[in-house]
Structure 1
């Protein structure tokens, strides 16, 4: 068992070497304990992913495609986007604690993670991945909904994110502009799933970082019209009504529990 757990340690060490070794002098991080190396790697990687994806996406939709995807009067100001970046950057060190802690638990054998897809086979891998994603979708839906329904949680945590409540205040940078505890709570289903569903370690880490790109996507106010994906059109409605479209990747949970509001229906009513 110890030999198998060492595979996880070797993989996280490899991730550390790639990120930290490429960006920082070795003397700055080589003496850090393994746990803190992991946090530093997650912090640097998460920050770069957030800023690069946000800058490139904003440049594309607000400048290269000026007034094509987003009407001129709906483009957020630079001040609004800088405010969102500031909120996200204050929370980022805390966000990165979650994947670091999940790696610690995986490395110590507390979860159902497996290191190699060959350990289970491709068919079970895709089955477990599907169960994992369904669990995460359900968990995030209910966590998000309770952050609205439980008034103290909304007032002291989630309201920080909902100051961005219309098109000209929403941008890809709003995707991670949360109170730190709010952002962690909404990502907790990813970690809870590790104790219930056999999960490929590398896939789990990848999905956590894909979250940053996905949240940028659903805050850009562009409705992709790809059923049943919970795209930005749905999530923009969530920011304007506060009572609809709590889902994360798909519309299924909102459809099942009566909180779905379709942006195409809203457009039809305006005609």
Structure 2
């Protein structure tokens, strides 16, 4: 089995482990949240797409509503100035845009799972196949590739005018503190959202990747985008927090990075948060 971690596939017997794993995800999750058992008649990829879709909606709404409750109501004077709280109408529009795109977003993890199950990637199933030291090295390489890929994908969505006009502009109608909210995090044109997440899939062909870690990191995207659109500057270097990302939404030419500021620093597009994003 160790060969599968480095060469991809490892044979049909090894690939069935991934299919059994995703089948288990489908059984546990869908039986708990979907009424009836009609979904069991669906082909396996459609079951996975349904599970990914329902999971994405739940993560989006649970994290969005919870965080909005905390920062706009419960702790509203601690984090956000009163004149910076987005209107209910702005948040409603963001929810509508994200909700329409969610079924398309859910296709990406479904496709990545299918490719893994088919033995086309360098995914491995057990951490013991490579050992913890190499697992950590591979996670670091995976995240570095994703950081690089998302930075340049995001930057080109700005620099290539047709891509910006027809795709990325949908997200950038939210460009001020009083229009940005946690719900803006997934308010993209569907193809835009897929393009910005697709480095997670490309990485699977280049870096040996632990399957469950890949699935967890894909869904972490939904939580992370909630965080960086809340306009609260956490000041945890080198994290690309909301203070940096709010600058991106106001200048359009800085802070394209994802989890960290390193790519912006490396390629000359970093701008530090000003005092306007800090709480006195």
Q: State the TM-score bracket (shorter-chain normalisation).
A: over 0.9
1:35 aligns with 2:45: yes
Provide the rounded CA distance (Å) in 2 between the counterparts of 1:230 and 1:173. Answer: 18
1:205 aligns with 2:215: yes
> Would the aligned equivalents of 2:86 and 2:179 in 1 still touch at CA under 8 Å?
yes
Question: Which of 20-29 and 244-253 deviates more?
Answer: 20-29
Structure 2 counterpart SS, 1:169:
coil
Query: In the TM superposition, what are the counterparts of 1:74-153 in structure 2 within 5 Å?
Result: 74-153=84-163
Q: From the superposition, tell whether residues 74 and 267 of structure 1 become closer, same or farther in structure 2 (CA, over 3 Å).
A: closer
Structure 2, gaps ≥5 residues long: 1-10
Provide the rounded CA distance (Å) in 2 between the counterparts of 1:30 and 1:87. Answer: 30
Structure 1 counterpart SS, 2:172:
helix
Partner residue of 1:59? 69
Q: Normalising to structure 2: TM-score of the pair?
A: 0.94
Partner residue of 2:225? 215
Structure 2 counterpart SS, 1:221:
coil
Provide the rounded CA distance (Å) in 2 between the counterparts of 1:54 and 1:25. Answer: 24
For these two proteins, the number of residue pairs brought into alignment is: 269
1:241 aligns with 2:246: no
| CA deviation string 1:223-264 (max 9, x = no partner) | 000000000000000000000000000000100111000004
Q: Once the 2 structures are TM-superposed, how far is the Cα of residue 165 of structure 1 from its aligned partner?
A: 0.2
Runs of 4+ in 1 over 2 A off after TM superposition: 264-268
Partner residue of 1:6? 16
Provide the rounded CA distance (Å) in 2 between the counterparts of 1:145 and 1:266. Answer: 25
Counterpart among 233, 239, 242 of residue 232 in structure 1: 242
Structure 1, gaps ≥5 residues long: none
Q: Normalising to structure 1: TM-score of the pair?
A: 0.97
> Would the aligned equivalents of 2:150 and 2:258 in 1 still touch at CA under 8 Å?
yes
| CA deviation string 1:46-80 (max 9, x = no partner) | 00000000000000000000122010000001110
